[in-house]
Amino acid sequence: MRKIIEELEPSPIRTIANSAIDNKDVIPLWFGETDIITPKFISDSLKSALDKGHTFYTSNHGVHELVETITEYTSKLHKNTITSKRIMVTVGGMNALMISAEAIINPGDKIICITPVWPNFMRCIEIMGGNVIEIPLILSESHNKWKLNLEEISKKINGARGLYISSPNNPTGWMMEKKEHKIILELCRKNKIWIIADEVYERVVYDRKVAPSFLDIADKNDLLIVINSFSKSWAMTGWRLGWITIPDGMLHIFEKLNEFNIASPAAPIQHAGITAITEGEDFISDMIKKLSQAREIAIKNLTSFSKVELPASSAAFYVFFKVKGVTNSESFCINTLRKSGVGLAPGTAFGKGGNNWIRICYAKSPSLLQEAFNRIKPVLS
Amino acid sequence: MRKIIEELEPSPIRTIANSAIDNKDVIPLWFGETDIITPKFISDSLKSALDKGHTFYTSNHGVHELVETITEYTSKLHKNTITSKRIMVTVGGMNALMISAEAIINPGDKIICITPVWPNFMRCIEIMGGNVIEIPLILSESHNKWKLNLEEISKKINGARGLYISSPNNPTGWMMEKKEHKIILELCRKNKIWIIADEVYERVVYDRKVAPSFLDIADKNDLLIVINSFSKSWAMTGWRLGWITIPDGMLHIFEKLNEFNIASPAAPIQHAGITAITEGEDFISDMIKKLSQAREIAIKNLTSFSKVELPASSAAFYVFFKVKGVTNSESFCINTLRKSGVGLAPGTAFGKGGNNWIRICYAKSPSLLQEAFNRIKPVLS
């Protein structure tokens, strides 16, 4: 076994969750998914695809109609012309991240990662023999808000192969503004380095239709890879369907990577993806209403607990908070699981500086969520 | 873009097929799949899984009942005790091959590949920065049969990191005998190198229930990875479901690789996999009967064509043959596609020495298959 793989940090969330994954008494707020079963119109579409015999290999690019549907959706959403040769379907956002790493990272390459962030792409970098250079967000004390450390990014960008950034951000709920996208894009253009932008939470926003995206402003020739997924927008985490937006002229290369990684996502699931996009806007609106209510419950509870420090957040379905006196968030999460039966995610999972932070995914029903807060109130007050 | 990825050889089959993939007049014998739509009892099982709300993330190991089902199936089939901690579900055989490459290949590592073979694992080796050392099968002229070049393997095994072998073999239809498994296993044990055995065609055999396998004879601690898939045995190519059998004590490492590559296969599809195995034996028997008939048609036609040299084959659903006078099999396949409207796979796709060889996948209905042979008769006689 490769040393690098043996030593690859496992997901601390998985490590804690595995100990109690079959325990029905635990309220699981650790994973990044809602408790909403995928809506029936999407499941019906899969059933219909099976009835039509869509059970064979598809092209590496993806089922033609799905690629066209994603192309139109993305172009409209970002008011930019994206051609279908810049879109390729993937097995969720994860597979899109792994093939991005394979495409650009040679052993020893440095990739800047803006943290805290969902850690999986950092592990992809390591699998490919690259080096992760973390540049944490700064918590502006005065505004209690997360912001980019542009000074540090400017200093370290020279000599890097790429920059990985995820907005709306898991775990902080931070959302990058348009002017910051412009600054990052210009900086990366000047230094000719890749941007890998994980935008899977672009529809999980509370004051607009879609989050600002690099796709709003980038040209077709920018060294930009945007990761997207059906998981969060259409409650399809278990379906493993996503897509990648790539620069013009590179499809034939990414198709090879699909061929040699997964061939393609499952054929009937690709057909259901068409329906998710074309008929899913009402579902997204309803889901955002529910999430908005859950968000209020989470913020109201947490701000009332004396030991909790909660920065402002504006998107995704997480709250990321500090607990006074806690110096090891993994032990804290294990103890809280034992004592209160609530599954929390330790901040250590998301890169440097997360050691006394905790993430909660609040995408649960109001009653279950309130029950969880009632249970953990004693340890947080 | 990495140079290694830009230069990665695309699948010559895909290259030719892409030019005519939407042409309904072409008879496609190029891809490795039957024309059998996945049986209804499996599709029904997926529908039922959706109705039960199985639309969420699963563990990296796989849905518990599926892992247990595969474990029991494999143990019985190979009369060997395989524990569930040696099984992990994957997105088809392809994903299993890619994570195997990630697990063991450091840049510069040499992997021996027995060719002709489905080329995709050779590309995985290259993506990870490893070197492919091809050792072609020998065509014994006297018996007109393929056999291992054991002398060459013994010579080159020292210093290699692993050996990749696929039996029953795509494209030749060659099947390794038990005594050869024993020799290879002993050789790899002695040299402490990995065996990556692609056994996805183990049920596509015509004179027994299952092909000989490394799992019949290996111990739990052997450096052995066996690749399997639902694609061929249960006509589920488009479902992207497979599994990997790994040495004891390594599951936690492979689970990490699942997490960072694909998370897991789609949840409802994993549930359908349970049904495929538990209720699928009659389907396999019926399919083998059909394939057996198709095989006779293929052999009968090809042996009657004057320009064709066809070695004996015993498993999988391919015939691999030479055409007298053909020195470039890709041009030959392109011309045959244009002139006769039949999609063939060029031998160059399968490694060194395939240059004047052609592969046909005969897993088609008798009438369509006979029509294809009628069309190509003029160029082969």
Give the pLDDT band (50/70/90) at residue B18: confident
pLDDT of residue A170: 97
Residues B275 and B353 grouped into a single domain: no
**For the domain that residue A9 is a member of, what is the CATH number?**
3.90.1150.10
Average pLDDT over residues B42-71: 97
Q: What pLDDT digit, counting tens, does each position of B159-183 carry?
A: 999 999 999 999 999 999 999 999 9
Low-confidence winner among A11-15, A27-31, A193-197, A280-284 (lowest mean pLDDT)? A11-15
Closest residue of A to B122, CA-based?
A260
Question: What average pLDDT does chain A have?
Answer: 96
Of B11, B103, B237, the CB nearest to A56: B237
Test B259 with A120 for CB contact under 8 angstroms: yes
Asked whether residue B276 carries a pLDDT value surpassing 90, the answer given is: yes
Residues A61 and A171 in one domain: yes
- In this prediction, residue B142 carries a pLDDT of 77
Give me the mean pLDDT over the B44-65 stretch: 96
Question: Residue A243 has what pLDDT?
Answer: 98
Query: For residue A39, is pLDDT > 90?
Result: yes
Helices A92-104, B251-261: inter-axial angle, 10-degree rounding: 90
On chain A, the residues whose CB falls within 8 A of the CB of B241 are 266
The CATH number for A108's domain is 3.40.640.10
Question: Would B45 be classed as within a structural domain?
Answer: no
- Work out the minimum CA distance from A140 to partner chain B, whole angstroms: 32
Q: Do A240 and B265 touch (CB under 8 A)?
A: yes
What per-residue confidence (pLDDT) applies to A20? 81
The whole-number average pLDDT for the span A297-311 is 97
Query: B357 CA to chain A: closest CA distance, Å?
Result: 23
Q: Residues 6 or more apart from B76 whose CB is under 8 A from it?
A: none
CB contact under 8 A, A269 and B266: yes
Tell if the CB–CB gap between B235 and A55 is shorter than 8 Å: yes
CA-CA-CA-CA torsion for B97, B99, B100, B102, nearest 10 degrees? Answer: 130
**Residues of chain A contacting residue B261, judged by C-beta atoms under 8 Å apart:** 94-95, 98, 261
Cα separation, B92 vs B139, in Å, equals 31
Domain with B136, as residue range(s), is 54-279
Residue A19 pLDDT > 90: no
Contacts of B50 in chain A (CB under 8 A): 38, 43, 46-47
**CB within 8 Å: A239 and B124:** no
| End residue of a domain, out of B279, B300, B325 | B279
Residue B144 Cα, gap to closest chain A Cα (Å): 33
The answer to whether residue B230 scores a pLDDT higher than 80 is: yes
Q: How far is A364 from chain B (nearest CA, A)?
A: 13
Q: For residue B286, how far is the Cα from the chain centroid?
A: 21
For residues B330 and B360, membership in a common domain is answered with yes
Place of tokens 């069309």: B375
- In contact, A67 and A251? CB cutoff 8 Å: no
Of B225, B256, B279, the residue that ends a domain is B279
pLDDT mean over A51-60 = 95
Beta-carbon separation of B238 and A31 below 8 A: no
In terms of domains, do B225 and B83 share one?
A: yes
Q: Which of A1, A5, A262 sits opposite B95 (nearest CB)?
A: A262
pLDDT of residue B13: 87
Residue A16: the pLDDT is 86
More confident residue, A14 or A201: A201
The string of pLDDT tens digits covering residues A316-360 is 999 999 999 999 999 999 999 999 999 999 999 999 878 889 999
Query: For a pLDDT cut of 70, what percent of chain A falls above it?
Result: 100
Q: How confident is the model at residue B17 (pLDDT cuts 50, 70, 90)?
A: confident
Is residue A46, in this structure, part of any structural domain at all? no
Measured CA to CA, the distance from residue A295 to residue B85 in angstroms comes to: 39
C-alpha pair distances (Å), B286 with each of B73, B169, B289, B362: 19, 21, 5, 16
Q: CA of A80 to nearest chain B CA: how many angstroms apart? A: 24
B270 and B206 belong to one structural domain: yes
B44: in domain = no
Cβ(B293)–Cβ(B287) below 8 Å: no
Q: Which residues of B touch A239 (CB under 8 A)?
A: 55, 266-268
Q: Which of B36, B55, B90 to mutate to test the interface with A (most CBs of A within 10 A)?
A: B55
Q: Residue B22's pLDDT is what? A: 73
pLDDT at position A308, please?
Answer: 96
Per-residue pLDDT of B237-269, as tens digits, reads 999 999 999 999 999 999 999 999 999 999 999
Give me the torsion for CA of B123, B128, B133, B138, rounded to 10°: -40
- Total domain count for chain B? 2
Partners of A56 on chain B (C-beta within 8 Å) are: 33, 237-238
Q: What is the 3-state secondary structure (H, E, C) of chain B?
A: CCHHHHCCCCCHHHHHHHCCCCCCCCEECCCCCCCCCCCHHHHHHHHHHHHCCCCCCCCCCCCHHHHHHHHHHHHHHCCCCCCHHHEEEECHHHHHHHHHHHHHCCCCCEEEEEECCCCHHHHHHHHCCCEEEEEECEEECCCCEEECCHHHHHHHCCCCCEEEEECCCCCCCCCCCHHHHHHHHHHHHHHCCEEEEECCCCCCECCCCCCCCHHHCCCCCCCEEEEEECCCCCCCHHHCCEEEECCCCCHHHHHHHHHHHCCCCCHHHHHHHHHHHHHCHHHHHHHHHHHHHHHHHHHHHHHHCCCEECCCCCECCEEEEEECCCCCHHHHHHHHHHHHCEECEEHHHHCCCCCCEEEEECCCCHHHHHHHHHHHHHHHC
- Note whether B267 contacts A5, CB cutoff 8 Å: no
Q: Do B2 and A260 touch (CB under 8 A)?
A: no
Size of interface A-B (CB pairs under 8 A): 193
**Who wins on pLDDT, A131 or B24?**
A131
Within a domain: B15 = yes
Residue type (1 letter), B275:
T
Is the distance from CB of A192 to CB of A158 less than 8 angstroms? no
What is the tens place of the pLDDT at every residue in B28-39? 999 899 999 999
Between CA B165 and CA B126 the distance in angstroms is: 17
pLDDT of A353: 75
Residues in A closer than 8 angstroms to B104, CB to CB, are 1-2
- pLDDT of res. A68: 98
Nearest residue of A to residue B9 by CA position? A256
pLDDT of residue B134: 97
Nearest Cβ partner for A260 among B120, B255, B265: B120
Domain match, A256 and A186 both: yes
In this predicted structure, the answer to whether residue A72 has a pLDDT above a threshold of 90 is: yes
ipTM score here? 0.96
Are residues B141 and B182 located together in one domain of the fold? yes
Which of B50, B194, B224 to mutate: most A Cβ within 10 Å? Answer: B50
End-to-end CA distance of chain B: 46
Looking at the structure, tell me whether residues A301 and A159 fall in a common domain. Answer: no
* Residue from A5, A33, A106, A198 whose CB has the most chain B CBs within 10 Å, to mutate: A5
Give me the residue from A104, A238, A262 closest to B240, CB to CB.
Answer: A262
Compute CA distances A80 → A26, A74, A273, B120, whole Å: 45, 8, 22, 36
pLDDT at position A12 is 85
What pLDDT is attached to residue B158?
92
Domain membership flag for residue A355: yes
The mean per-residue pLDDT over the stretch B60-64 comes to 95
Where among A228, A262, A280 does a domain terminate? A280
Return the residue in A43, A54, A55 with the most chain B beta carbons within 10 A, the one to mutate for interface testing: A55
Q: Which residues of B touch A161 (CB under 8 A)?
A: none
pLDDT surpasses 90 at B50 = yes
Percent residues over pLDDT 90 in chain A? 92
Using a CB-CB cut-off of 8 Å, the residues of chain B touching A129 are 107, 129
Are residue B107 and residue B217 in the same domain, yes or no? yes
Cβ of B240 and A120 within 8 Å?
A: no
Other beta carbons within 10 angstroms of residue A353's beta carbon come to: 15
**Whole-Å CA distances, A72 to A75, A76, A90, A178, B323:** 5, 6, 17, 22, 47
pLDDT attached to residue B360? 97
- Chain B residues within an 8 Å CB radius of A53: 37
Does residue A240 sit in the same domain as residue A314? Answer: no
Give yes or no: residues B33 and B75 share one domain: no
Is there a contact between A33 and B57 (Cβ–Cβ < 8 Å)? yes
In a mutational test of the B interface, the residue from A121, A161, A260 whose CB has the highest number of chain B CBs within 10 Å is A260
**In which band, very low, low, confident or very high, does the pLDDT at B353 lie, cut at 50, 70 and 90?**
confident
Q: Do A123 and B2 touch (CB under 8 A)?
A: no
- Inside any domain, residue A43: no
Put simply, the answer to whether A95 touches B262 (Cβ < 8 Å) is yes
Q: Which residue of B lies nearest to A125 if distances are taken between CA atoms?
A: B260
Q: Compute the nearest-CA separation of B126 from chain A (Å).
A: 11
Q: Please provide the average confidence, as pLDDT, over all residues in chain B.
A: 96
Q: Identify whether A366 is part of a domain.
A: yes
Q: Which of chain A's residues have a Cβ under 8 Å away from the Cβ of B2? A: 102-106
Q: Return the number of other C-beta atoms located less than 10 Å from residue B58's C-beta.
A: 23
In a domain, residue A48? The reply is no
- Residues in chain B with CB shorter than 8 Å from the CB of A263 are 92, 94, 240
Q: Do A239 and B38 touch (CB under 8 A)?
A: no
Is the bond preceding residue B247 a cis peptide, omega within 30 degrees? no
Contact list in A for residue B63 (CB cut-off 8 A) is none
Does B98 lie in the same domain as B194? yes
Over residues A128-141, the mean pLDDT reads 94
What's the pLDDT score for residue A15? 83
- A152-184: pLDDT as tens digits: 999 999 999 999 999 999 999 999 999 999 999
From chain A, the residues in CB contact with B38 under 8 A are 50, 55
Chain B hits for A261, CB-CB cut-off 8 Å, are 94-95, 98, 261
